[in-house]
Amino acid sequence: MACTGFRWVFRHAVVPALVLSLTLPGTTGNAAGPLLIDDFVNGVSAGWEKKVFKGETVYRATLDEERPAVKAESKAAASALIYRVSLDPKAYPRLSWSWKIVRTIGKGDERTKAGDDYAARVYVVFPSTFFWRTRAVNYIWANRLPPGTFLPNAYTGNAVMVAVESGDGNAGRWIDEERNLVEDYRRAFGEDPPAVGAVAIMTDTDNTGEQAVAWYGAIRLLPPVP
């Protein structure tokens, strides 16, 4: 029963069943150059897997402001798109992406389970042979947290939320982002990261029961800065 309860916690912290069974198939990186996860030019590639938690966020390929993207629409729902990879984060320490939201979640509050919803998030999963050691770094468009804040997820300390954008000041505009996975993992967990096992996007509103619309642009893993 304890194991079942722990799996429930991971599921609701969106370090989901994918994390518990991840065996690192899929894309392998060799640090030769940028590694494209998807630019959505030809729609949503076959490498993405859908993971439904509660209800279903609708993800569909679109063109927004001449930019190929995935549009996410969530109504009291939570589901993700997951892309499995297998790579050394020191060979590909940088994650780049772009995103846009209509607005943040009115009742969203990163510090509470009831408010653990986000108009947009991009997260990276670091699986382990022992599921209780599996960790995730969630890059969120925060509702309330100041930009740059690191905060353990309301459900589990094995997932850390990183506020990259916050509030509605940049809502309605495309924003390009880049983060250093190795540096962020070290700050979040106090040690070097293991292999990366998946990259995911998620727009979720199941806890607050609200609605959210977001767009995600090209996602890449990049080698170290020369």
Kindly tell me if the per-residue pLDDT of 21 is higher than 80: no
Q: What percent of the chain has pLDDT over 90?
A: 81
Contact by Cβ (8 Å): 202, 78: yes
Average pLDDT, integer, range 105-129: 95
Contacts of 204 (CB under 8 A, 6+ apart): 14, 53, 57, 74, 77, 78, 79, 80, 117, 118, 121, 212
Confidence of residue 129 (pLDDT cuts 50, 70, 90): confident
Structural tokens at position 123: 């997260």
Domain interval for residue 152: 2-222
Domains of the chain: total = 1
Whichever domain contains 162, its CATH number is: 2.60.120.260
Confidence of residue 130 (pLDDT cuts 50, 70, 90): confident
Kindly tell me if the per-residue pLDDT of 17 is higher than 90: no
pLDDT at residue 221 in the model: 97
